[in-house]
Chain A
Amino acid sequence: MIPVQHYLIVSALLFAIGATGLFFHRNLVSIFLCIELMLNAVNLTFVAYSRLAGNLEGQAIALIVIAVAAAEAAVGLAILIALHRRRETMNVDDHNLLRY
């Protein structure tokens, strides 16, 4: 049996890598992909803890998270499309209308 910590390390690694990518990319879509990666890492954590706790709750949560991620991806991509229509650029630094 693989110790649960191993899985947790993997998920921590995935999360950290996702965070790194978040700050590294300038393209909005790429940033979004990194967000999905981080979500996935969290999912893994949930399932791992499900094994740890000895019940199904973690898995159920993970399932729901996948559904939520799907919904969120849909809306997020719709926003990105709308943004793209407004200005061609997908550079995150160019979308700064809130700036004084």
Chain B
Amino acid sequence: MESAIFYFFSTVSVVTAFVVAASRRPAYGALALIVCLLGVAGLYAQLGATFVAAVQIIVYAGAVLIVFLLVIMLLDLGGDTPFKDRPRRLGWAALPVGLVLFAVLGTVVARTSPPVSNEATDEAMRGTAARLGEFLLTDYLAPFEATGILILVSLVGATWLVRR
């Protein structure tokens, strides 16, 4: 059962990722990314990070990507210009980079030792909202606050950048 859920969500994520990477139009890519994010959220949930999964759906898929779509529609971007019409510098690098990257990362993964799994750790890493909230507001307070400032700064910056 678990494997089924895992494979489902992973397949969704990977396939839509392909679509993002290969789509001609940004609009298609954005939509595919939304689905991909949802798939990854599912993976988060399966890992026990339920709060993170929820945030991913609400914030990432549900706000950031919507803004993306908004911008795409606002700027009325069509698709890419046809392939044959302009020089494709380094476009050839796409596949090799991807393969090599995967190879390297895969090697790293293969070296990862399996986790020590027992009741205590399972209990410890169950990421409910309450526990994560407590964690963020105590041990991770500094990054938390810094992130708040970062968001403020980006707000101001984005607003300024867009003015006419």
Contacts and interface: CB of A to CB of B under 8 A. Distances in A.
Contacts, number: 252
Majority secondary structure, A binding face: helix
Contacts of A75: 154, 157-158, 161
B52 A33 contact: no
Given A51-B125, A60-B136, A24 B22 contact: yes
Nearest to A90: B77
Contacts of A55: 124-125
A1 B140 contact: no
A91 B150 CA distance: 29
Interface of B: 2-3, 6, 10, 13-14, 17-18, 20-23, 26, 29-30, 33, 36-37, 40, 43-44, 46-49, 51-52, 55-56, 59-60, 63-65, 67-68, 71-72, 74-75, 77, 79-81, 86-91, 93-95, 97-99, 101-102, 105-106, 108-110, 112, 114-117, 120-121, 124-125, 127, 131-132, 135-136, 139-140, 143-144, 147, 150-151, 153-155, 157-159, 161-162, 164
Interface of A: 1-10, 12-27, 29-30, 32-34, 36-37, 40, 43-44, 47-48, 50-57, 59-60, 62-64, 66-75, 77-82, 84-85, 90-91, 93
